[in-house]
């Protein structure tokens, strides 16, 4: 008996970013303080983000992550393939609203990260008193990377600034250090935490010393967990895509011990409804804005403020 032919796989990941157009509106389905539900023009989606200033001498830290419906933060090792152009717009708007993009070396190894802004988004930053050029700070335990790694756009594109924050536990690979110096990229050493990564507070301290008032981290999952464990993350923006993959070893958006429980108090939920070009299925991509609440920092019931 002939085997049944396999069905064509739906177009997800890069296919959606290429084939699903940017909509004219998204839907605000819930908000803590604004009227809902209502349609929001796409030009206003996350366009008015304003974050508080530094607390305790460190920049206000927010995170932007994406996951599939079953909680996987990457497909085929890449997060960029999850989501539509609306997710790409959310990423851009968070970058515009903060001073520095912070990412772990694992994310840079997995994906050819870049941080170029359009002229209109650069102008939006300038109007808010920020540099029109983004700064990308990369967290790295040590300088020991593949030979061709420094030829990626993150290190060679002249349209944004970059900084490497590395741990203080060598050894590095001498050739890597020489090539970084040859590119004119500054490396700042900070103390190394118990997990072998640059200490989260020390890393934010480096950015504070350079004038950063707000920072967005785009992961990876282990980096995000380290900032939660250090009680430094203030807000969490999460995109959930409407498909599942089901890998046995799938990586969650937040991977590792966070010394919880840590609570996520929803501020808003926005939905993008679209049709999958391959199957015609009606799908919903969700965007949640969440405030991070650390129970041990909350006042006890009945206590004086």
78-131: pLDDT as tens digits? 888 899 999 999 999 999 999 999 999 988 888 877 889 999 999 999 998 899
Token pair, residue 133, equals 């050029």
Q: What's the confidence (pLDDT) of residue 249?
A: 73
Which pLDDT tens digit goes with each residue over 28-38?
A: 999 999 999 99
Helices and strands, number each (H, E), in the chain: 8, 11
Mean pLDDT score, 220-236: 95
Average pLDDT over the chain, rounded to an integer = 89
CA 163 to chain centre: 17
Where in the chain do CATH 3.40.430.10 domains reside? 100-212
Cα(first)–Cα(last) distance of the chain, in Å? 75
Among candidate residues 287, 235, 236, 292, the one with its CA nearest the CA of residue 263 = 292
Q: What's the confidence (pLDDT) of residue 243?
A: 93
Q: Per DSSP, what are the bridge partners of residue 186?
A: 163
Q: Name the CA dihedral angle for 62, 66, 70, 71, rounded to a multiple of 10 degrees.
A: -40
Percent of the chain with pLDDT over 90: 66
Which pLDDT tens digit goes with each residue over 155-202?
A: 989 999 999 999 988 778 888 889 999 999 999 999 998 888 899 999
Measured CA to CA, the distance from residue 36 to residue 188 in angstroms comes to 46
What are the φ and ψ backbone dihedral angles of 203, each rounded to 5 degrees? -65, -45
* Selected residue with higher pLDDT from 302 and 270: 270
Mean pLDDT score, 46-63: 95
Token pair, residue 172, equals 């590095």
Measured CA to CA, the distance from residue 303 to residue 305 in angstroms comes to 6
Measured CA to CA, the distance from residue 254 to residue 190 in angstroms comes to 23
Q: What's the confidence (pLDDT) of residue 111?
A: 82
pTM to 2 decimal places: 0.91
Pick the CATH number of 100-212 from 3.40.50.2000, 3.40.50.300, 3.30.1540.20, 3.40.430.10: 3.40.430.10
Mean pLDDT score, 273-293: 96
Read off the DSSP letter of residue 87.
Answer: H
Q: Give SS3 for 101.
A: strand
Q: What's the confidence (pLDDT) of residue 300?
A: 46
């Amino acid at each position: 008996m002939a085997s049944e032919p396999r069905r064509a796989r739906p177009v997800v990941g890069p296919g959606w970013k290429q084939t699903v157009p940017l909509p004219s509106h998204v839907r605000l389905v819930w908000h803590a303080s604004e009227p809902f539900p209502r349609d929001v023009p796409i030009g206003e989606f996350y366009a008015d983000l304003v974050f508080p200033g530094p607390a305790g001498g460190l920049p206000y830290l927010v995170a932007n992550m994406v996951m599939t419906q079953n909680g996987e933060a990457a497909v085929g090792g890449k997060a960029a393939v999850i989501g539509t152009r609306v997710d790409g717009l959310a990423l851009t708007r968070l970058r515009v609203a903060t001073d520095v993009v912070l990412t772990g070396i694992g994310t840079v190894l997995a994906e050819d990260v870049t941080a170029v802004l359009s002229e209109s988004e650069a102008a939006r930053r300038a109007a808010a008193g920020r540099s029109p050029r983004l700064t990308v700070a990369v967290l790295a335990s040590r300088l020991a990377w593949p030979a061709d790694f420094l030829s990626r756009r993150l290190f060679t594109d002249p349209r944004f600034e970059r900084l490497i924050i590395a741990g203080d536990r060598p050894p590095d690979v001498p050739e890597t250090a020489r090539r970084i110096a040859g590119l004119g990229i500054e490396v700042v050493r900070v103390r190394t935490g118990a997990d072998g990564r640059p200490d989260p507070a020390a890393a934010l301290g480096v950015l504070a010393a350079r004038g950063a008032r707000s920072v967005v981290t785009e992961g990876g999952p282990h980096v995000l967990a380290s900032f939660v464990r250090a009680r430094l993350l203030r807000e969490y923006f999460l995109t959930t895509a409407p498909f599942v993959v089901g890998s046995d070893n799938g990586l969650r958006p937040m991977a590792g011990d966070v010394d919880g429980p840590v609570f996520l108090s929803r501020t808003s939920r926005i939905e993008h409804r679209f049709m999958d070009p391959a199957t015609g299925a009606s799908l919903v991509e969700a965007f949640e804005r969440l405030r991070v609440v650390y129970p041990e920092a909350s006042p006890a019931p009945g206590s004086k403020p």
